[in-house]
Amino acid sequence: MTIGVLALQGSYNEHISALRRLGVKGVEIKKPGQLDNISALIIPGGESTTMAKLAEYHNLFPALREFVKMGKPVWGTCAGLIFLADKAIGQKEGGQELVGGLDCTVHRNFFGSQIQSFEVDLSVPELSAQEGGLPSFRGVFIRAPAIVEAGPGVEVLAACPVSLKTTSSKSDADTQEVESLPEQKVIVAVKQGNLLGTAFHPELTADTRWHSYFLKMLAKEDEPAPTTLAVVEGG
Ligand code: GLN
């Protein structure tokens, strides 16, 4: 099994290292044709406008959309989550091209700028259920987005206190759009069929449980359809 990691910009090396720690081969994806040789794809964090410009330059968008539509597992972390969203808000100049597929609206810089980056322990029941699972996952949020709207088919895997969104950016028109959110928590990890999205950076921690979770999505997809087995007695 080979996992592709979109390697235009951002933390793709860290994802490849995390996969290696799990004994799985991760390969860099820079061109559309390379998507034909992989079973699943990770779109890393970085800077989504830059990544989108590079993806456009390499004519990757049609192939990425096709990959998502084929039902192959795709995981977007941070800027990668923005890429996968059907809609992004909080963008300065007219927005950027998105791959889409995830029935969500993502606020690009929900938690503020680089200096408002933070770490927090997130409760993630799906991961805690894993063998030997710790009760929480350390989320690393860097200029992090958040999911401000999710469609009915989207499963919420983790949420983060809105209070971690610092108030120093109150004058910023980008963040004002979400000031009125009634919820105390905002969604930061979701799953929708073959798509996984996290607003934080599991690849920057030593904890590989999110990578294992993603690999399990692939294993499920590869499972043969259940068949009725004839029971042979005696022997
Ligand atoms: N908010 C950033 C963006 O818009 C993403 C940050 C990240 O990937 N760490 O691209």
Say how far residue 156 (Cα) sits from the centre of its chain: 12
pLDDT: is 130 or 36 the higher one?
36
225 occurs within a structural domain: no
Residue 235 in domain: no
Assess whether 211 carries a catalytic annotation. no
Q: What is the pLDDT of residues 214-224, one digit of tens each?
A: 999 998 776 65
Catalytic residue among 15, 104, 160, 201: 201
Q: Is residue 93 part of a domain?
A: yes
* 52 inside domain: yes
Which CATH number covers residue 86? 3.40.50.880
Q: How many domains does the chain have?
A: 1
Answer whether residue 171 shows pLDDT above 50: no
What is the domain extent for residue 202?
2-164+181-218
Give a yes or no: residue 66 inside a domain.
yes
Tell me if 48 is assigned to a ligand binding site.
yes
Written as six digits, the tokens of 218 are 């692939």
Residue 144 lies in a domain: yes
Predicted interface score ipTM higher than 0.90: yes
Is residue 171 included in any domain, yes or no? no
pTM of the model: 0.87
Ligand 1 pocket: which residues have CB below 6 Å? Answer: 45-48, 78-79, 82, 108-109, 142-143, 145
Residue 123 lies in a domain: yes
